[in-house]
Amino acid sequence: MEETDWSPRTNPFSTRFHEPGALGFLFSDGDSAERLLERFIRFDGCAQIVGPHGSGKTTLLRTLMPLLAARFPSPDPREIALHDGQRRLPEEFWSENAGCRNRLVVIDGYEQLSFFERLRLRCSCRRLLVTTHRAAWRMPVLCREVSSPDRFVRLVRLLHADPVFKADEELRSLYRAHHGNCRDAFFELYEEWETSS
């Protein structure tokens, strides 16, 4: 976040400050993007990131993508973000990837695809990294439950360091009230900030 983007009157919980990629992923102690890349390679380039809605899966993907693109540069990696109810991949995906089994394919929202579309994808791609709410059958898990109450507190402190605004335990309770959905918890903080300003 650039200094010019923020002033004391700016709501630090505006989406632009915490949307996927705005903040780098906060790793647990001893973990890093490099370690996850090594694990992905050990899994023969096929793995899943599992976690509930709003838990940081997309942010983790965005943090990993530069390393993945450097490690698997040719042909260019292909990223697809699926939207609610999208049961099939776009037809151009299949035509672009015909004969490119070595291309790294990254799918955000894999669980939305139909069973047959997931099967088709797994049969046609040798290198595949997906995010999903529920673990997919017979695919190694790269990372599970990417968010935690303490990580949420750390994120809030990056955006707004004043513990008078909310004590750490209040933030942990807010996180739990939203069942681990950081995005929804940030929306509540946004509303609270707006009404208190």
For the chain, give every domain's residue range: 33-144, 147-197
Nearest of 130, 79, 77 to residue 100 by alpha carbon: 77
Q: Cα(107)–Cα(61) distance, rounded to whole angstroms?
A: 9
Q: What is the pLDDT of residues 90-143, one digit of tens each?
A: 999 998 887 778 899 999 999 999 999 999 999 999 999 999 999 998 999 999
CATH architecture of 33-144: 3-Layer(aba) Sandwich (3.40)
Angle of helix 149-159 relative to helix 182-196, nearest 10 degrees, comes to 40
**Alpha helix stretches (DSSP H) within 31-148:** 33-42, 57-71, 91-97, 115-124
CB 185 within 8 A of CB 176: no
Structure-token match 């955006």, residue found: 159
Question: What is the number of helices (H) and of strands (E) in the chain?
Answer: 8, 5
Q: What is the pTM of this model?
A: 0.87
Q: What is the pLDDT of residues 44-102, one digit of tens each?
A: 999 999 999 899 999 999 999 999 999 998 888 999 999 888 999 999 999 888 777 88
pLDDT above 90 (res 151): yes
Mean pLDDT of 172-178: 97
The pLDDT of residue 4: 43
Token digits for 87?
A: 């049961």
Q: Dihedrals φ, ψ of 145, to 5°?
A: 50, 70
